[in-house]
Amino acid sequence: MEKVKIIEVGPRDGLQNIDFFVPTKQKIQFIKRLAACGISEMQIGSFVAPQAIPQFQDIREMVKGIKALKNVVLSALIPNIRGAENALSCGIGKFIFFFSVSSAHNYRNVRQTPEESIKELRHICQKYLDDSGITFQAALATVFGCPFAGEIKTDAVLRAVEKTADCGVTEITLCDTVGFGNPKMIEEKFSACQKRFPEITFGAHFHNTRGLALANTLRAYEIGIRSFDAATGGLGGCPYAPNSSGNVATEETVFLFEQMGIKTGIDVQKLLSVCRFLQKTLPQANITSSLFQAGLPKKHKLVDDSKRGKTK
Amino acid sequence: MEKVKIIEVGPRDGLQNIDFFVPTKQKIQFIKRLAACGISEMQIGSFVAPQAIPQFQDIREMVKGIKALKNVVLSALIPNIRGAENALSCGIGKFIFFFSVSSAHNYRNVRQTPEESIKELRHICQKYLDDSGITFQAALATVFGCPFAGEIKTDAVLRAVEKTADCGVTEITLCDTVGFGNPKMIEEKFSACQKRFPEITFGAHFHNTRGLALANTLRAYEIGIRSFDAATGGLGGCPYAPNSSGNVATEETVFLFEQMGIKTGIDVQKLLSVCRFLQKTLPQANITSSLFQAGLPKKHKLVDDSKRGKTK
């Protein structure tokens, strides 16, 4: 049986750029409802300085509210040693380290060169990788294009992956941060990485900024990628394209795979209820999912319609 | 050089269900602007009784206004001999005959069984196919699912194609009328048809009702389909899912292919201006295209960013 892992990033990527604070209780409810859909892994927030991303100033309290959740890996973004310490003390079991292949983007994002970011990653890995029981994942931003630097060469991606792998990380996500990717480019960059680093598990993180996210998802699946980030409701947006579509919607990603007979373990009907919950409780959120607008197709009956007579 | 044909259906499929009349001049402007984008084939309307689709009551006048357009094949839907006569007398050079594989859908749509529709098609072909210089195309609706009958068996599709081909038609479009299709189903149905009828040119007509249209487009391309219907702005909607996304957007389809190096002959920048024109002149129209919201990516520069120093 073919199956894929869908990592829900709505609570983290979906909420981080929203310009109002979502009350802690509401975030906890959002995460609990997502977990009830069968999601097996979720990025719940970032351990960053509150002034950098005020949305996650309550992350300790949030984690308390969701710690008891079973059957779901809760991960968080940790930008530095301090974030890692805080995450560990909260009981977070999976760390996501994030940096951009593009110097221009990384500098604007975290005020560091990619080299400085990798040095940070090495410190964190040296301290936590071996005996803390922590799982590590690295997310490489702007792999498929950068709003400042334009196109990113595959060689630059390979070098960034190499340095990340050298730190001991074995799960690496390639991110189309601003929706510049297309299926051909997806294939080129992922295939080059898979070929060169067969020991690494690569995941995909696509944004639907220009409508291509599910086509990119399909192509990534076709070449062997089995881990996909997605945000329920298509939350997320892009700071460089106001009002644009956000992360690829979890419900559409699940729908794509399940309709093709590829198991996700996620109940799409329940995800649509979470969208309704979001719409009600966060009316300011930009829910861009077509599936949410249209609803699921009525349960298919298999009809050999050409044999039927005139409809009454 | 790989290339595809994109058939613009916005003036026909995009406007037919809009519940207000678009003034003739505006329709003519819309079509002229589309033609200026490099579109080589366009469905401009339907030769039906005005009471059936009031939007096209002015089709004769419309055709007068666009007849002088060069380098673009103007086609129209013709439901019967009478429609064919009218289309011919207007100087329309390509006829689209439309019926549904699903009895239930066909009956609701045109008050005929599919068998009666095929009989009509045979009459029209006998009268016009050989010596009128008219090109024929048949569009088979609900091939990938019907809002009434549910799933449609591939055998039923094959039989409908066979009867259509028997009338002498050599271009057949398989339509995902309500957005029930997924890449696996697209491959199954198209491949079965291509294998059984190698002499027929098959085209695809997808709706983005549930977000999967570009993934479906990609899969159809991968198995050899080279003709795709699309509507600028993603106009179209679905009468069975109010407020939902419509036809796959022409600008996103062109963007998908051109980004992959597959030529469409269409200027996507100009298409986005047509979207702006639509937004201004038809504010009631539902423009659902993400690419229109976000805009094109800035012109890519190829940067090996890992070699650059700290951004100033």
For position B202, which CATH number holds? Answer: 3.20.20.70
Q: pLDDT grade, residue B17 (50/70/90)?
A: confident
In sequence order, which residues have a C-beta less than 8 Å from that of residue B23 and are 6 or more positions away?
A: none
Q: Which residue in A113, A260, A294 is closest to B241 by CB distance?
A: A294
Lowest mean pLDDT among A24-33, A226-235, B53-62, B298-307: B298-307
In sequence order, which residues have a C-beta less than 8 Å from that of residue A199 and are 6 or more positions away?
A: A165, A170
pLDDT at B307 (0 to 100): 45
Instruction: Flag if A209 and B107 touch (Cβ within 8 Å).
Output: no
A75 CB neighbour count, 10 Å cutoff: 24
- Mean pLDDT of all residues in A155-168: 98
Contact at 8 Å (CB) between B207 and B245?
yes
The residue with greater pLDDT, A204 or B1, is A204
Domain assignment present for residue B103? The answer is yes
Domain residue limits at A144: 5-307
| Active-site choice (B167, B175, B238, B275) | B238
pLDDT at A102 over 70: yes
pLDDT at A89 over 80: yes
pLDDT at B306 over 80: no
Domain assignment present for residue B51? The answer is yes
Convert chain A into a string of H (helix), E (strand) and C (coil): CCECEEEECHHHHHHHCCCCCCCHHHHHHHHHHHHCCCCCEEEEEECCCCCCCHHHCCHHHHHHHHCCCCCCEEEEECCCHHHHHHHHHHCCCEEEEEEECCHHHHHHHHCCCHHHHHHHHHHHHHHHCCCCCCEEEEEEECCCCECCCEEECHHHHHHHHHHHHHCCCCEEEEEECCCCCCHHHHHHHHHHHHHHCCCCEEEEEEECCCCCHHHHHHHHHHCCCCEEEEEHHHCCCCCCCCCCCCECEHHHHHHHHHHCCCECCCCHHHHHHHHHHHHHHCCCCCCCCHHHHHCCCCCCCEECHHHCCCCC
pLDDT at B109 over 80: yes
- Mean pLDDT of all residues in B4-29: 94
Interface test with B, best of A305, A307, A308 (most B CBs within 10 A): A305
Instruction: Flag if A305 and B146 touch (Cβ within 8 Å).
Output: yes
Per-chain mean pLDDT for chain A: 92
- Mean pLDDT of all residues in B283-312: 67
Q: pLDDT grade, residue A299 (50/70/90)?
A: low
Contact at 8 Å (CB) between A43 and A7?
yes
Q: Is A252 on the interface with B (CB under 8 A)?
A: yes
Domain assignment present for residue A312? The answer is no
| Active-site choice (A37, A193, A238, A275) | A238
Q: Among all residues of chain B, which has the CA nearest to that of A181?
A: B259
pLDDT at A169 (0 to 100): 97
State how far the Cα of B268 lies from the Cα of B256, in Å rounded to an integer: 10
Instruction: Flag if A183 and B218 touch (Cβ within 8 Å).
Output: yes
Instruction: Write out pLDDT tens, residues A59-71.
Output: 999 999 999 999 9
pLDDT at B248 over 90: yes
Domain assignment present for residue B266? The answer is yes
Q: pLDDT grade, residue A175 (50/70/90)?
A: very high
Number of Cβ pairs < 8 A linking chain A and chain B: 226
pLDDT at A117 (0 to 100): 96
Residue written as tokens 């029981």?
A: A133
pLDDT at B286 over 90: no
Q: Which residue in A145, A215, A305 is closest to B152 by CB distance?
A: A305
The phi and psi torsions of A219 (rounded to 5 degrees) equal -65, -40
Closest CA to A120 of A155, A82, A94, A93: A82
Domain assignment present for residue B312? The answer is no
Domain assignment present for residue B37? The answer is yes
Domain assignment present for residue A293? The answer is yes
Q: pLDDT grade, residue A281 (50/70/90)?
A: very high
CA distance between the termini of chain A: 41
High-pLDDT (> 90) share of chain B, %:
82
Lowest mean pLDDT among B66-70, B132-136, B237-241: B237-241
Q: Among all residues of chain B, which has the CA nearest to that of A112?
A: B310
Residue written as tokens 């979502």?
A: A22
pLDDT at A216 over 60: yes
State how far the Cα of A164 lies from the Cα of B237, in Å rounded to an integer: 46
Q: Is A111 on the interface with B (CB under 8 A)?
A: no
Domain assignment present for residue A137? The answer is yes
pLDDT at B158 (0 to 100): 98
The residue with greater pLDDT, A130 or B304, is A130
Interface test with B, best of A210, A257, A291 (most B CBs within 10 A): A210
Q: Among all residues of chain A, which has the CA nearest to that of B237?
A: A294
- Mean pLDDT of all residues in B161-168: 98
Contact at 8 Å (CB) between B110 and B79?
yes
Lowest mean pLDDT among A44-48, A153-157, B48-52: B48-52
Total domain count, chain B: 1
What is the length of chain B? 312
Q: Which residue in A103, A288, A303 is closest to B152 by CB distance?
A: A303
Instruction: Write out pLDDT tens, residues B40-98.
Output: 999 999 999 999 899 999 999 999 999 999 999 999 999 999 999 999 999 999 999 99
Q: pLDDT grade, residue B244 (50/70/90)?
A: confident
Instruction: Write out pLDDT tens, residues A70-88.
Output: 999 999 999 999 999 999 9
pLDDT at B241 (0 to 100): 72
pLDDT at A304 over 70: no
> Taking the mean position of all CA atoms in its chain, how far away is CA A210?
17
State how far the Cα of B78 lies from the Cα of B99, in Å rounded to an integer: 11
What is the distance in angstroms between the Cα of B275 and the nearest Cα belonging to chain A?
A: 14
Per-chain mean pLDDT for chain B: 92
pLDDT at A110 (0 to 100): 87
- Mean pLDDT of all residues in B227-239: 91
State how far the Cα of A246 lies from the Cα of A288, in Å rounded to an integer: 7
